[in-house]
Amino acid sequence: MFDEWLDSDEAYARGRALQEDDDHREHRDLALPDDRPAIVEFVQASNAGRMPELIPLRIGRMLESPFAFYRGSAALMAGDLAATPSSGLTAQLCGDAHAANFGLYGTADGRIVMDINDFDETAPGPWEWDLKRLVASLVLAGREAGVSENRCEEAAHDAARSYRRTIDHLARLPFLESWTALGDESIIDRAEADALLDDFAKASKKAKKNTSEKVAAKSTKVEESHWRFVADPPVLTEVSGEVAAEVTDALDGYVETLRESRAHLIKRYAACDVAFRVVGTGSVGLRNYLILLRGNGDEALVLQAKQARPTALREALGLAPVPHDGRRIVEGARLVQAETDILLGWATIGEHPYIVRQFRNRKGSIDVTELEGNDLDDYGRLAGALLARAHSRSIDPRVLAGYCEDGDRMDSAYARYALAYADRTEADHAELVRAVDSGVLPAEVEE
């Protein structure tokens, strides 16, 4: 292994050679598979295995806007992407790299960084799939925010350009330096996203306060010497003693998935209570528990145990089932993120696989659906740079840089695809609305 050194010129040449079989212009047009399911059929299939009582809530959230529908339809787009060209380079994908899946969180040493923050669908696959999902999401988010069509297209174009330029930058760095590149404020400068500095600073300030202590102060109480969650239906509800015991018993297996030093840390805590919490659009209907742990004195630590399902990309990529989807998600995150939650691990609760992580790890976000034209463009550049950094950890950035070096032709192709796929998503959303209005699908709309 260690005697197979690859010269940089040869690595770039391998990437350039791939362009001969996969011209960037071939990625411009929307291609859909002949067996693409109707929206009702897709939604019903995607609800399989979810808790039946929460399915109307999931559909209600997807009903809110085309962008909300897009967030809940990664499997539908994966089937569509399977009909598009590919360079043949495989990356560890986020699998659902839409613009709202980039967020802020705290590192072990207290810094606030921005990175991809959702890996439920992670899998090895064509790197183009993540970039196409990102650029189309920028158009949809911009349209929801009332941004002009030209500015939406520009945001998609500049996201692709930022991806390409960042890959080229990382390809020229020493391997260790490119591997450890972080998504802190410095990447904003490199991505030319200065208009986001204020948004980043505000979100970072808010994220620093988003801790287990804050959750405990708001959502727990001491009752008859027991520290418990306070139910807040329908979002946070009590669980039976049997379920609570099943969750806490699974923590021993979870500890074994942590690195040794962190296992010693988590064993210092004691479990006090378990509650059920409804999660976001794509995961509504999956089992999700909060676990209240007590540490030093009145120190609170809240863990989240979230049910893991097979990646929505599995069928489109032709992947075999994995032994444990919680482990798939955790190992994907560890590979893709510059820094992961130090308490990220996996467990089996009952018969289902789960990921376990800190519920509040100084997490924050910038709401992409509220950004104006200039800010949307800057957000696209930042997300494109972060996605490139993520992919560079599983693809030799020199080979990918060679493939991407053709400049504006690539950027324009992805921007054109983004507009076409956004139009397709709006038509899909309209089909969902008709299905709900006609009573074919149930929907619960939140106030």
Does any domain span residue 100?
yes
Residue 293's domain comprises 212-309+318-358
pLDDT (tens digit per residue) in 259-304: 888 999 999 999 999 999 998 767 888 999 999 999 999 999 999 9
Residue 443 lies in a domain: no
User: Does 96 reside within a domain?
Assistant: yes
The tally of CA atoms less than 13 A away on the side-chain side of residue 433 is 10
Chain-centre distance of CA 18, in angstroms?
Answer: 28
The answer as to whether 442 is a domain residue is no
**Dist. CA 165–CA 184, nearest whole Å:** 18
Within this chain, do residues 185 and 220 fall inside the same structural domain, yes or no? no
- In this structure, are 251 and 354 located in the same domain? yes
Check whether 242 has a pLDDT greater than 90: yes
Asked whether the predicted pLDDT for residue 142 surpasses 80, the reply is: yes
Q: Is 444 inside any structural domain?
A: no
State yes or no: pLDDT of 226 exceeds 80: yes
Residues 42 and 186 both lie in one domain: yes
Same domain for 237 and 186, yes or no, is: no
141 is a domain residue: yes
pLDDT mean over 245-263: 94
pLDDT given at position 194 = 67
Contact 311, 366 (CB under 8 A): no
State pLDDT tens for residues 85-107. Answer: 999 999 999 999 999 999 888 88
- In this prediction, residue 188 carries a pLDDT of 53
pLDDT at 112 over 80: yes
pLDDT of residue 189: 57
The pLDDT of 330-341, averaged and rounded, is 93
pLDDT level of residue 1 (50, 70, 90 thresholds): low
Rounded to whole angstroms, the Cα distance separating 151 from 131 reads 18
Output the pTM of the full model.
0.94
Element (H, E) at 22: none
- For the chain, give the number of residues: 447
The reply to whether 204 and 339 lie within a common domain is: no
Helix (H) or strand (E) holding 18: helix 8-21
86 and 17, same structural domain? yes
Give the H or E element holding residue 285. Answer: none
Same domain, 68 and 190: yes
Are residues 332 and 406 located together in one domain of the fold? Answer: no
Q: Write phi, then psi, for 378 (nearest 5 degrees).
A: -65, -40
List, for residues 30-44, the tens digit of each pLDDT value: 989 999 999 999 999
- CB 46: neighbour CB atoms within 10 A? 23
